[in-house]
Structure 1
């Protein structure tokens, strides 16, 4: 059975193709249209399909649209209709209002029309709705290798729930308990991000800032609107006002809201720290409750909140579950994979084989001929290397910033060594260099290391093993005796958001780091996403545009090296 999975509700529009249970292609629309998150999260555009991502998925395995057996969409309109209630604290014609919900309902109805318009009536008739949180759960459970597992999904909102607890048993996924809007950890992060002068998508910035604050100072203020309960947590929307651009109740507690560009003060750091602390306690409380309800050895975690590396570490180390799996794309893009897998395993006669599917490299790749053609179009000089990994390692060891563009693009928000900017972790000045030359981001934000998997425990406290350590999803403590050797990837709290690089999963990237170790004695490199305030680069053209628009020293695309002239 061949299933096309689609997500285009809210944000992170994406597509995926599953063939007999195998994830053969998956990509986010933003990588093609170059619009962050794929599109705005409006009430009236759920029917704006990720057409370029769909076309890529089809072409990557030479499929024609009529070969698709089913189209799985990661949202259930009937479930939305069942649970929707008008939010008195909302803007007319927007989310939460009656008029806004009518716009949303029509855009959901138009998904079938969009499929028909772009791919024909026959494909539109193959549409299957999959509830948002079951799609998240499926994206984690079916590739995990577990035959049975507890499931915990935490995000902003699905149809109406923000949190789902359940379990997977072979093909079947079951819901045990849900927490519904307005009690949403994802929305809490969006609101506090905006209060701190960032966008609602800037949770990564606030996570980085939290380590600079003192979590206890504002605990009492936080308790005014965020409380832990026996069933999880509750939030006071009269203070938070998720669907209004208002901050007066929060300002009454914390003082004036920070505007974009204003200095970051101690109060802002302490708010971020209090938010992180509440999240840690709330999620651990949910984990404990889920274990009581379904005492498995295994836990699968997904949803946008599962991108919180600090919380993930605590769940892995302090949670009751022995084994933890988080997919490379736990955010909404991952529901394209999840919807397709759920549809396959619930509508075919196939039995779950409990085979782990770890490969995050499911996006486009490019031939040498196409790479050379783009280099020529840019008027640049490229040279073929007989050992590009070794050459890149030597350039990094000599203090250069290298764009590393190899093979198939990663699926998920992290650059995992195929669309990465690489630099030397040994010097504290590397951070400033990266920010000045290309990244242009806040100084308090940490950079991450990619470390050889078999050397990682010598440098970091890895703790309980997890396959998800390969996806840059945990903040692990750096061993004290090693910290001074890698200051560029050391956060203020002594941790690093590391990626374990497995030789079998990414041979070329492993070899680059291995070569860097032979030169320097350090088995890791600084790895950040190959972009500059834009989606991660997808094509050679994207990479060369970023190369020309920044001060990156060199770009290695396949085995072709382009260096900046002095």
Structure 2
């Protein structure tokens, strides 16, 4: 009889607010996993209990909640009590915090805001683990049938660390986890050895690299916890600006003993206001075109992050006498930073959890629970749809379509002819990257492809770069210091002789690229598509971006793919073996 362990981030009181997901393990192996946003269709699924993703996990295994042996929650809510002092201080001293907490104008005095202070104290004094776990139990009882299995809680950053250690190829090394905040932790250095993770150093809230980057993101017109990748993409357009750098470093310190609390104390909004005061500039009201100063500011923030993380990694590699590094937490989605870590002379082996943000906590919790190496060659953990089911959807919607005898070859020919293709195959990916199963594909050879996808398909700023998928065996030829990169979470320089071959997938400012390397074992159909494209064009690379419109989650179902196909400037849509074309 199988042993089932269900892991999920609840996003209820005390368990975080964004990016819930659910994963089910059968006899220690991941059998299904999906982020709640892919089912609720609300990006990041903030404050949504993951009932849909839990249901999907159970349905895939053909079981009910009562058949699960144990539930894991990747938070220790009792640790939230450590936040009490900083939150009460904010309520008492910060008028803007009053207004945001109470939802009304405030005099800024303690006596005038007794209710707000009381609510805050109650919230964090009441954050006892047993009470909060009971809230989760009640939600499960309301949504599902049968008794609720035993529930265990695991600390947020330890779950992140597990996700960067147990799938890695090394047995001993340094693991660094960094994000906005998890319980009271913002950055944690871990010693990984003999299957155990030992906490070596903790940078506590609000001393957070993630929150600093989030404040900078809002300052430049994007939303924190959503637009950080766009600021990373903007940074190479900038350059070192001594005035910006000097002003920033007058209030924040980098290095192993970094301190950014002058900007990160309070809410993100407080940090934005501090940046406005510091630089004598108002925040950008909306994202779009950027001035030289704004590009230089993005460059400075990115450089500060990279240099600070590099200093920490160097110091603890020396201390641990190791050359192996694991990275996780939302900050580890910063592939430019990852590149700098990879290139350190002191680093021989690196593993970056592909679902590095909170959407991967459920994976990490399951790995932490069993504390043994877990091979994770792909993140294709979500739902798939048979050809017959796809055809039923096409018939139901009275669409014209054709069955392809060789979908890979036919799509490769369309790509070589400059067409923009929606590609819907196999199991849905976990994580923020489309990896060849829910992808929009284009010819990588010309900048015109990039511009068309930005303008007519993704409906986003034209300066933003795209990434490639390439045959793994071609990586040495196309990339400097190449190594397998199946998850699009590492950045590389491109070899000089091939830059002209893949103009659409180079960052326009620095000619780097963030590739997915593809081998036949990981994704046979996608591998063959790229191989067919190479046979036609001589280039073993395609432009690959996620199959979603601007501001939406990646598509999950055939119906969603069809809707986006007709709402975007795509030329054709491949759904399994079925092909739709626009006139």
Give the structure-2-normalised TM-score: 0.89
Asked if the contact 1:3–1:343 (Cα under 8 Å) also holds between the matched residues in 2, the reply is: no
1:440 counterpart = 2:472: no
**SS of 1:225 mapped into structure 2:** coil
**Of 338, 362, 370, the match for 1:336:** 362
The Cα offsets for residues 39-81 of structure 1, whole Å up to 9 and x where unpaired, read as 2xxxxx4xx4211111111222223222211100011012222
1:285 shift after superposition: 1.0
**SS of 1:264 mapped into structure 2:** coil
Tell me, in whole angstroms, the C-alpha distance in 1 between the residues paired with 2:263 and 2:64: 51
Matches within 5 A, 1:26-65: 26-39=33-46, 45=47, 48-65=48-65
Matches within 5 A, 1:101-116: 102-103=122-123, 105=127, 110-116=135-141
Change (3 A) 1:260 1:273: same
**Of 256, 259, 265, the match for 2:282:** 256
1:251 shift after superposition: 2.0
**Bigger RCO (CA 8 Å, 6+ sep):** 1
1:202 shift after superposition: 0.2
Asked if the contact 1:284–1:319 (Cα under 8 Å) also holds between the matched residues in 2, the reply is: no
**Of 431, 443, 450, the match for 2:469:** 450
Aligned position for 2:231? 206
1:38 shift after superposition: 1.3
Asked if the contact 2:186–2:210 (Cα under 8 Å) also holds between the matched residues in 1, the reply is: yes
Asked if the contact 1:152–1:166 (Cα under 8 Å) also holds between the matched residues in 2, the reply is: yes
Larger % of helix: which? Answer: 2
Asked if the contact 2:64–2:145 (Cα under 8 Å) also holds between the matched residues in 1, the reply is: no
Tell me, in whole angstroms, the C-alpha distance in 2 between the residues paired with 1:378 and 1:403: 18
Aligned position for 1:362? 381
1:408 counterpart = 2:460: no
Aligned position for 1:277? 303
Unpaired stretches in structure 1, ≥5 consecutive residues: 40-44, 346-351
1:368 shift after superposition: 1.3
Aligned position for 2:517? 500
Aligned position for 1:389? 408
The Cα offsets for residues 291-328 of structure 1, whole Å up to 9 and x where unpaired, read as 13322332211000000011101111116231100122
Matched residues, number: 546
Matches within 5 A, 1:162-561: 162-200=186-224, 201-217=226-242, 218-231=244-257, 233-237=258-262, 241-245=266-270, 247-254=272-279, 255-261=281-287, 263-318=289-344, 320-345=346-371, 352=372, 354-463=373-482, 465=483, 469-491=485-507, 492-533=509-550, 534-561=552-579
Asked if the contact 2:491–2:513 (Cα under 8 Å) also holds between the matched residues in 1, the reply is: yes
Aligned position for 1:86? 86
Tell me, in whole angstroms, the C-alpha distance in 1 between the residues paired with 2:290 and 2:120: 35
Moved more, 512-521 or 88-97: 88-97
Aligned position for 1:22? 29
Change (3 A) 1:452 1:246: closer
**SS of 1:551 mapped into structure 2:** coil
**Of 122, 129, 132, the match for 2:147:** 122
Tell me, in whole angstroms, the C-alpha distance in 1 between the residues paired with 2:574 and 2:428: 14
RMSD of aligned alpha carbons? 2.1
Asked if the contact 2:7–2:366 (Cα under 8 Å) also holds between the matched residues in 1, the reply is: yes
